[in-house]
C-alpha cells in the first residue's frame, strides 16, 4: 500500500541504475556539505537523490550511477555517484 495516497494499485518494477544529472544543489546544514541532484535515469524516470563522492567538479549532464536505494521512514531514498 502506498503510504502517501493509501492506494494498493502499485507494483515493483526494475529501474535503470545509470543516468545524468539534470540539476544539482549543495546543502550546508551539517559540518560536511552534501550534494543533492535531480537525476534522469536512462529510461526517462527522474529522481531526487544524494550525490556522493569527492568530485567537486560536478556539473549538469554528468553521468551518474545508483549505488544505494531504500526506504526510510516511509520515504524512498537514492544515492548516486559520478562515473
Within a domain: 64: yes
- Total domains in the fold of the chain: 1
- Banded pLDDT at 56 (limits 50, 70, 90): low
CA within 13 Å, CB half, 74: 6
Within a domain: 53: yes
Within a domain: 1: no
Within a domain: 5: no
CATH number at residue 52: 2.40.50
Cell of 30: 551539517
Residue-range definition of the domain harbouring residue 28: 18-82
CA 43 vs. chain centroid, Å, equals 14
Q: Each residue of 20-53: pLDDT tens digit?
A: 999 998 887 777 778 899 999 998 999 999 999 8
Q: From 18, 45, 27, select the one nearest 36 (Cα to Cα).
A: 27
Instruction: In whole angstroms, give the CA distance from residue 35 to residue 18.
Output: 18
Write down the pTM of the prediction.
0.77
Within a domain: 65: yes
Amino acid at each position: 500500500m502506498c503510504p502517501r495516497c493509501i492506494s494498493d494499485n502499485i507494483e515493483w518494477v526494475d529501474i535503470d541504475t545509470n543516468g545524468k544529472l539534470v540539476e544539482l544543489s549543495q546543502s550546508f546544514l551539517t559540518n560536511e556539505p552534501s550534494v543533492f541532484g535531480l537525476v534522469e535515469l536512462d529510461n526517462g524516470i527522474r529522481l531526487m537523490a544524494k550525490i556522493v563522492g569527492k568530485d567537486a567538479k560536478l556539473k549538469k549532464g554528468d553521468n551518474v550511477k545508483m549505488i544505494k536505494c531504500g526506504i526510510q521512514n516511509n520515504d524512498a531514498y537514492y544515492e548516486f555517484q559520478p562515473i
